[in-house]
Amino acid sequence: MIKSILIKELLITGKAKNGIYSLFTLILTFIFIFHYTLERNNNLSIDSLIGLKWAIIFLLSFIFIGQSIWEERESGAIRINSVYLPAWVFYLSKSFVVFTILFIINILIVFLFYIFFKSMKIDSLVDVFNQIVFLFPAGLSLSLLGVMLSQLSHATRLKEVILPVLLIPLSIPVLLFGMEAERNLILFSGSILKPFVILFAFSIFYGSLGVLVQELTNDF
């Protein structure tokens, strides 16, 4: 059952017009705009680049999560799924696929930043690791939160309206904390473990909340 769900989720993301292709185009557009407007005259500092990277990732996750539930809703398949699948299985599978794709995209963004921005130096695997270590738990938190709120927006019949209203305030703590942790790590050789655990705790909290919300809103 889980295999069928994962295959379906990956196929939808890969094939839908608003799936991975549009996401890739969006990344390039964002990076090119910032490169052309800000990097052209002065090299952006690494401090600014970390902020810029997290801001782009935040916007992308926001858009991608909204799109991930769109096909379910438009097709009416969400109603069929709700009868055949336990709500938590559907929720966790979808969140897992959204997270996996977002994380791959995040790694891609790190390399695109390296190409486009001079201050972004990647000399060894450690540099890559430092750039992505906090994106892992932060991306997981955003995926679990986003999929939960997408389901909630569908169940409340408010649909798209409620998604940004709830997603922005709930995801900003993850964004700010993750960004600061990465700045501390790269600029001041701060610790990895403590902020990683805190960000991961956010994931567990949002994941548990998500499972509960799925169970409560399954009958619609």
Q: Which stretch binds other proteins (CB under 8 A): 49-57, 83-91, 132-140, 186-194?
A: 83-91
Of 17 and 40, the one with the shorter C-beta distance to other proteins is 17
Segment lying near other proteins (by CB under 8 A), choices 37-45, 53-61, 69-77, 131-139: 69-77
Q: Which lies closer to other proteins via its Cβ, residue 80 or residue 165?
A: 80
Measured between alpha carbons, how far is 44 from 27 in angstroms, rounded to an integer? 18
User: Which region holds residue 117: left if phi is over 0, alpha if psi is between -120 and 50, else beta?
Assistant: beta
Among residues 93 and 141, whose Cβ is nearest to other proteins?
93
**Shorter beta-carbon distance to other proteins: residue 16 or 26:** 16
30 with 117: CB under 8 angstroms?
A: no
Among 28, 33, 59, 77, the residue binding other proteins under the rule CB under 8 A is 77
Q: Using alpha carbons, select from 138, 130, 137, 133 the residue that is nearest to residue 175.
A: 138
Minimal CA–CA distance to 146: which of 103, 98, 179? 98
Minimum Å distance from CB 2 to other proteins?
A: 9
What φ, ψ does residue 146 adopt, rounded to 5°? -65, -45
Among 76, 124, 125, 193, binds other proteins (CB under 8 A): 76
Half-sphere exposure of 152 (CA within 13 A, CB side): 19
Interacting span for other proteins (CB under 8 A) from 73-81, 95-103, 142-150, 174-182: 73-81
Length of the chain: 220
Does 8 help bind other proteins (rule: CB under 8 A)?
A: yes
Let me know: does 158 contact 172? Beta carbons within 8 Å: no
Residues near other proteins (CB under 8 A) are: 1, 3-5, 7-8, 11-12, 15-17, 19, 71, 74-77, 79-85, 219-220
